[in-house]
Amino acid sequence: MPVMPLPLRLSLFYTAYFLVIGIQLPFWPLWLESRGLTAAEIGLILSVSLWVRIVTIPVAGVVVDRTGNRRGALIVLSACSLAASLMYPPIDGFWPILLVTVLVSACFSPVMNLGDNLTLLIARANRLDYGRMRLWGSVSFIAAAGLGGVTAADQGPEAVLYLLIGGIALTAAAACLLPKPPPRATSPSPAGIAGRGRVTILMTDPAFLLFLGATAAIQSSHAVYYVFGTLHWRELGHSEAVIGWLWAEGVIAEVLLFAFGTALGARLSPARLLMVAGIGALVRWTGTAMAETVPALAVLQVLHALTFGAAHLAAMQYIARAIPIERSATAQALYGALATGMCTALAMMVAGAAYERLHAGAYFAMAAMALAGTGLALLLAGRERTEPLPADA
């Protein structure tokens, strides 16, 4: 039986995972609203997923760095996510939904970070292009957003739930097809290097802290968009189908960046790429606060290539270049837990209250966060190292 090529196996994982995200980000608030939740409760439900990340992602990262069993962890976590998601259909009300959300998030939150870490290690060992594999996740997001918009319009918000569960099932199946990482990455770390020690080394490094701060501010500036983008556009009179394609359009731009971003990354350091992302976010959120027509929103959605795509590519490049393999999963975990977890959760909590009072004006607060992230990226550029931190002894 022929062996499936490495890039295909990794691309299938991203394809399956982002089917879930392509349904969840644009349309999960519609399902929550259909179950009677208020805007503030929706903001809390979505933010709690990110709070859970703060615990589960670092724990998973440290365990994987110590055992080296990245593939096994991904299979177990994906399967547990599927089991937990099957508890959603019969429940109603804020507290039951909150409880199930905690369970699903505890299992599913580490999946992306561990998958990225596995892909980066394999890409480094086999001279593969990370962006060319990751872009299939973005393509999948586009398809899922388009499918979700049409399905929600035709069959109502309840169909969103079953699309989500189906995506998690496919992610679990794709995890079983993942390759094993290179031998060095599968070897357990030395017994003397405790998980807490790895975290301490990273969290006392000024450059790494600047990296976390810059990525946190830029990624967290998406909070209003992620939580209330769909609801806001619907209030402006746009249909679910149009909303789905607006989401998809932003990710099309992201796909193009991942397809051709290697050349951009070769010309710009991770810090400078973060600066580009921050400036793009400043322009995007300022414009989104004022835009109402589909053409104006469509132009602004193209900036997703910078605000998310360039920021994520910069983060992956920084971890690959500046962090040794022995601490790479822990660094990836801290990035996921703090930069895209805790800080985004805080921003989402603020977004719920801000949107209830200001509606589109809440995007101006996101623009301010993007400006702060750009400033931190500028400071990081002055300290950026060209060699990784010393490996664990």
Domain ranges across the chain: 6-178+193-383
What's the CATH architecture for 6-178+193-383?
Up-down Bundle (1.20)
Q: What pLDDT shows up at residue 224?
A: 93
Q: What pLDDT shows up at residue 1?
A: 47
Segment 156-171 mean pLDDT: 96
Q: What pLDDT shows up at residue 344?
A: 84
Full-model pTM? 0.78
User: How much helix, strand and coil, in percent to the nearest 5, is found in the chain?
Assistant: 85, 0, 15
Q: What pLDDT shows up at residue 192?
A: 43
- Of 250-259, 310-319, 320-329, 353-362, the poorest mean pLDDT is in 320-329
* pLDDT tens digits for range 183-233: 755 555 554 445 557 788 889 899 999 999 999 999 999 999 988 898 899
* pLDDT tens digits for range 35-87: 999 888 988 898 788 788 888 988 998 888 888 888 999 999 999 999 999 99
Q: Which residues contact 334 (CB under 8 A, 6 or more apart)?
A: 58, 61, 199, 202, 203, 212
* Distance in angstroms between the alpha carbons of the first and the last residue of the chain: 41
Q: What pLDDT shows up at residue 2?
A: 62
Mean pLDDT of the chain: 88
pLDDT at 181 over 70: yes
State the Cα angle at 297 between 148 and 279, rounded to 5°: 110
pLDDT at 158 over 90: yes
Residues of 304-316 as b/e, b for ≥16 C-beta within 10 angstroms?
bbbbbbbbbbbbb
State how far the Cα of 29 lies from the Cα of 27, in Å rounded to an integer: 5
Q: For the chain, list the strands marked E by DSSP.
A: none
CA distances 151 to 36, 195, 235, Å, are 20, 45, 19
Q: What pLDDT shows up at residue 162?
A: 96
User: With bands split at pLDDT 50, 70 and 90, how would you rate the model's confidence at 174?
Assistant: very high
State how far the Cα of 311 lies from the Cα of 270, in Å rounded to an integer: 9
Q: State the amino acid at position 241 in one-letter form.
A: A
* pLDDT tens digits for range 28-42: 999 999 999 988 898
Q: State the amino acid at position 149 in one-letter form.
A: G
Q: What pLDDT shows up at residue 388?
A: 52
